[in-house]
């Protein structure tokens, strides 16, 4: 496989889980840069924001590392960005987890499932609307691996977006979205076997 010329940035600070993303990019033979400071953002073509953990802690860490406003600017300049799990949630306006403001790229709120239940395991995507990251992924493969207790609430903001919806415990939530060059997925493509690899490659090839 030929090495790609573009350079992919992967946010690599405290409270994000970047290792599995690095492994996926190594497998696909894409060059990547670990994003640890605002200066790194000037060197990349696309950005992946992974995340596992606590909303407030990752936001506080971005502020501490002087990355919060730099990330906002990078994304608002219409650079291609993919937020994964918590990385998707911090693109939103506000989260109930820690009662904390996010990057405010998407005017949506992150809420907690009823009874503090955690959604763990494989789940399907519906209302696909020709979602571009699902290109060449068969209908039978549209199952991905989820681990989360908080979810992005659907509202009028998403009338401008392409969406996929999933259901947990009779509670519909946004499992992925696209608005212009901004993408978010609530599931973990890097843990979703072949279909997850395809999804990440689709983002890299945009």
Residue 85 appears among annotated catalytic residues? yes
Closest CA to 205 of 30, 22, 26: 30
What is the C-alpha separation between 74 and 147, in angstroms, rounded?
27
3-state secondary structure of 180: coil
Cβ-count burial 38-65 (b if 16+ within 10 Å, e if not): bebbeebebbbbbbbebbbebbbbbeeb
Structure tokens at 166: 């999933």
Q: What is the CA radius of gyration of the chain?
A: 16
Q: Which of 85, 92, 161, 176 is catalytic?
A: 85
Q: Which of 97, 161, 176, 190 is catalytic?
A: 190
- Residue length of the chain: 206
Closest CA to 186 of 157, 155, 145: 145
Q: Which of 97, 164, 176, 188 is catalytic?
A: 188
What is the C-alpha separation between 72 and 38, in angstroms, rounded?
11
Q: Which residues are catalytic?
A: 85, 188, 190
């Amino acid at each position: 496989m030929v090495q790609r010329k573009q350079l992919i940035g992967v946010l690599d600070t405290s409270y994000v889980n970047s290792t599995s993303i690095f492994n996926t990019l190594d497998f696909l033979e894409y060059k990547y840069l670990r994003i640890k400071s605002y200066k790194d953002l000037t060197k990349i073509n696309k950005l992946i924001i992974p995340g596992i953990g606590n909303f407030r802690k990752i936001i506080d860490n971005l502020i501490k590392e002087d990355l919060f406003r730099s990330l906002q600017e990078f994304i608002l300049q219409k650079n291609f960005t993919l937020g994964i799990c918590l990385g998707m949630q911090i693109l939103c306006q506000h989260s109930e987890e820690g009662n904390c403001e996010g990057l405010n790229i998407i005017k949506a709120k992150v809420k907690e499932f009823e009874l503090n239940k955690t959604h763990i395991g494989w789940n399907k995507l519906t209302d696909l609307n020709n979602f571009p990251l699902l290109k060449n992924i068969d209908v039978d493969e549209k199952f991905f691996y989820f681990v989360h207790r908080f979810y992005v609430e659907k509202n009028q903001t998403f009338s401008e977006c392409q969406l996929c919806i999933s259901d947990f415990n009779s509670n519909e939530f946004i499992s992925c979205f696209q608005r212009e060059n901004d993408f978010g997925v609530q599931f973990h493509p890097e843990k979703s076997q072949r279909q997850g690899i395809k999804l990440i490659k689709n983002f890299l090839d945009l």
